[in-house]
Every structure is written in structure tokens, then in C-alpha cells.
Chains A and B, each alone.
Chain A
């Protein structure tokens, strides 16, 4: 089974802090994704990566950056955390190629105070 592991289930940070969310997958998937999930808004794509050191902006990249130095690890960075970034963050991975299912981690619930 594919396993996508997010390093923290819950995280509390202060406004202005630099925050790192880590995600690791164990199935040698080429694609990795970061989503944000908010009530009534569903899942919104922040960034995705289709290869090491490659990244593309999703629908809501403002205030975020990403890093993918190794194939199995994809990090989401909040450069200067703000209260409107309080949310559930979900990481996913998939094989390369068209129509490949995405496999999700269990999420990190981030609170910015």
C-alpha cells in the first residue's frame, strides 16, 4: 500500500514565524502535491511537483513556497505565517503520467495564533 506520511498531525505557530510542513511518500511516486482544506471550500491546490527540484504553482500559491530536494520528500513552507493560513494541509502523491490516482496523507492541522 502507498503510504504518505505528514510529519505533524497538529501544529501551533505564531504570526510571522517561518513554518515547515513535511511530507514523505514511500512508493517512488514522481508527482507530489500540497492542498489546503477549509470548510465549505473543499480542497484547493497550493503547489505541486512532478520531479525533484521541479515545482508548479497551484490555485492558491500566495504566501507559500515548496521544496523538493529528494524524490520522496516534499516540503511546504509558510514564509511568514499569518492567521488566514490556519487550516488543514494535505499532502498527496501519484505516479507520473495521465490519470494516475492521488494518494493522500492524513493531514496537518495548522493553527496560527
Chain B
């Protein structure tokens, strides 16, 4: 099955700085990579995702980059704000075939943005 590793496990930045979280995956057939944000007391919420036919996707202050050769993808948050403080999870599916898929999640990164 898929193996997803996420680093770092904790990240502390000053407000306004950038934050980068990186994930590696093992299944070269994987072709969809979502990122989720989980605030305290809430369930994970999808914030951005990327498919393997593109190398980068941006949505305002958030971007995701994908390197299929190296089998890693990263979340970039620019101009961080205190409300970005949360746990972030990456995920990758098991394989690329079939009509139903399972996601394997990284273990999460606790991001703290200090005012």
C-alpha cells in the first residue's frame, strides 16, 4: 500500500513569514494529492489539492508543488497569519485505478503562527 511521510511534525513561524510542509509518497501510480487543515475541535477541511498532470497550483496565499520524479509534494503558505495556526495533513491515494479510492494520510504538522 501507499506510504506517506510528512515533515516537520511541528512548525513555528512569525506572523508574515512563509511556512513549508513537505510530504513524500511511495506509490508512483498515485495521481491526486490533497492537503487538509484541521482547526481545534473541527474535522479536517480540504484547502487545496493537485493532480499529477500539473506541477504547481495556487490559491491566494496557499500553493502546492508536486515533483513526481522525486515523489514528493509540498504545501507553501505565504504571509502567514495567526488564523493559519492548525494541524495540516497531506494525503495520497493508493494506486491510480478503480472507481473507489482510499487515502493514506501523513501524520500531520502542527503549525503555530506567532503574532
Is A105's CB under 8 angstroms from B99's CB? no
A74 within 8 A of B: no
Please state if B46 and A97 are interface contacts (CB–CB under 8 Å): no
Known: A31-B100, A48-B102. A102 touches B46 (CB 8 A): yes
A104 touches B45 (CB 8 A): yes
B10 to chain A, nearest CB (A): 11
Chain B interface, >50% SS class: loop
Contact A102 B103 (CB under 8 A): yes
The distance from the CB of B107 to the nearest CB of chain A, in whole angstroms, is: 4
Whether B46 pairs with A98 at a CB distance below 8 angstroms is no
Shortest beta-carbon distance, B4 to chain A, in Å? 9
Distance of B109 from chain A, by nearest CB (Å): 10
Seen from chain B, the residues whose Cβ lies within 8 Å of a Cβ on chain A are: 1, 6, 31-32, 34, 36, 41-46, 49, 51, 89, 93, 96, 98-103, 105-108
Q: Is the CB of B43 within 8 A of A104?
A: yes
Closest residue to B46 on the A side, CB-wise? A101
Q: Is B100 in contact with A96, judged by CB distance below 8 angstroms? A: yes
List chain A residues, Cβ under 8 A from B100.
31, 48, 50, 56, 96
The proximity string for A residues 72-113 relative to B, scoring 1 for CB distances below 8 Å and 0 otherwise, is: 000000000000000000101000111111111111000000
In the complex formed, the residue of B with least CB distance to A90 is: B43
**Shortest beta-carbon distance from B47 to chain A in Å:** 10
* A90→B42 CA distance, assembly (Å): 10
Shortest distance from the beta carbon of A101 to any chain B beta carbon, whole Å? 5
Q: Which of B34, B99, B102 contacts A45 (CB 8 A)?
A: B102
Residue pair A98, B45 in contact (C-beta under 8 Å): no
Evaluate contact between A98 and B98: CB separation under 8 angstroms. yes
Give every chain B residue within 8 A of A45 (Cβ-Cβ).
102-103
